[in-house]
């Protein structure tokens, strides 16, 4: 039996939601105001169906959808550029927001976008099977994976922050690269929870760590990301 399943995502303002998606290259392919607000936005083979609800509170939304794509990193770059064009910066807190790609315990690597309706778009690689690698992680790397799942998949930044802080204390002998990766994610979580000065201190520890050229290249993208976030929060 051939079938198509289409998830519908709620929003408070259909026009605002459509405009948000258009900033990332989506095109509205259908729209109506009466008898109920409804719109469809599409980007390639990705289709998002939106419906408006009077009095809807995005902070109370349970809306969520999984999007599997061939190249999530390229899609993230496009979404990040859209955020910067629309908001003048990357937004990693509140609604809407975007969280960069990373691996999370028990699932595959991916990134998250929360739209103006409070709906979570969970974007991962089509056909990916990285669960095994994540399950084999131990020590501080496993702590980072668990923290990422708490924060980026469940939205519990505060618990993830505590877990990661405790992990850095529990594993003081972790390899330099492992510690740097943990400190970089710690910096982001500190920014997301409103602790900019502590984020700067964590970033300073990263910059003081002696890494090989190869290790430094492996974290360069995330390091640039954290530097940008610290700089942007300093301008607020």
In a domain, 91, yes or no: no
How far is Cα 93 from Cα 188, in angstroms, rounded to an integer? 10
| Residue from 143, 69, 146, 145 nearest 113 by CA | 69
Does residue 95 lie in a domain region?
Answer: no
Tell how strand 27-32 and strand 64-69 pair up. unpaired
Of the three residues 27, 42, 57, the one that is the final residue of a domain is 57
160 within some domain: yes
What would the pLDDT profile of 132-152 be if each residue is shown by its tens digit?
455 567 899 999 999 999 999
Length of the chain: 236
Q: How many domains does the chain have?
A: 2
The more confidently predicted of residues 71 and 38 is 38
Lowest average pLDDT, out of 31-40, 130-139, 215-224, goes to 130-139
Beta bridge partners of 69: 125
Whether pLDDT at 42 is above 70: yes
Please check whether residue 13 is in contact with residue 116, taking contact to mean a CB–CB distance below 8 angstroms.
Answer: yes
- What CATH code is carried by the domain that includes residue 13? 3.10.180.10
| Distance between CA atoms of residues 209 and 212, nearest Å | 10
Are residues 141 and 53 located together in one domain of the fold? no
Domain assignment present for residue 214? The answer is yes
Q: Which residue has the tokens 């990301």?
A: 225
Q: Provide the pLDDT confidence category of residue 107 given band limits of 50, 70 and 90.
A: low
Which residues sit opposite 27 in a β-bridge? 42
The predicted pLDDT at position 129 comes to: 56
pLDDT at 188: 95
| Residue percentage of the chain with pLDDT more than 70 | 92
- Which of the two residues, 228 and 136, has the higher pLDDT score? 228
Residue 132 in domain: no
Higher pLDDT, 103 or 218: 218
Which pair of tokens denotes residue 228? 């940008």
Instruction: Give residue-wise pLDDT tens across range 54-74.
Output: 999 999 999 999 999 988 999
DSSP strands (E only) in the chain: 8-11, 27-32, 38-43, 46-52, 64-69, 97-102, 110-114, 120-125
Specify if 72 maps to a domain: no
Q: How far apart are CA 175 and CA 163, in angstroms?
A: 19
Residue 201 within any structural domain of the chain = yes
Average pLDDT, the chain: 90
What's the domain range around 22? 8-57
Give the pLDDT of residue 106: 57
Final residue belonging to a domain, choices 20, 36, 57: 57
* Whole-number pLDDT of residue 131: 52
Find the CATH number of the domain harbouring 153.
1.25.40
Position 18 in a domain: yes
């Amino acid at each position: 039996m051939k079938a198509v399943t289409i998830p519908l995502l709620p929003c408070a303002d259909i026009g605002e939601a459509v405009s948000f998606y258009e900033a990332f290259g989506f095109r509205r392919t259908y729209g109506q105001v009466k008898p109920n607000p409804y719109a469809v936005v599409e980007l390639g083979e990705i289709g998002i169906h939106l419906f408006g609800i009077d009095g809807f509170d995005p902070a109370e939304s349970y809306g969520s959808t999984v999007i599997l794509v061939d190249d999530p990193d390229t899609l993230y770059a496009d979404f990040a550029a859209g955020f910067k064009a629309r908001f003048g910066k990357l937004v990693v807190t509140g609604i809407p927001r975007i969280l960069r790609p990373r691996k999370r315990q028990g699932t595959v690597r991916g990134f998250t976008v929360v739209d103006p309706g409070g709906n979570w778009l969970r974007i991962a690689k089509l056909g990916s099977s990285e669960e095994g690698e994540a399950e084999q992680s131990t020590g501080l790397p496993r702590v980072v994976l668990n923290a990422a799942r708490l924060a980026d998949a469940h939205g519990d930044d505060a618990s993830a922050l505590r877990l990661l802080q405790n992990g850095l204390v529990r594993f003081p002998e972790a390899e330099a690269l492992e510690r740097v990766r943990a400190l970089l994610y710690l910096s982001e979580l500190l920014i997301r929870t409103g602790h900019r000065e502590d984020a700067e201190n964590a970033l300073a520890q990263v910059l003081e760590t002696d890494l090989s050229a190869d290790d430094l290249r492996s974290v360069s993208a995330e390091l640039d990301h954290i530097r940008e976030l610290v700089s942007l929060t300093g301008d607020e």
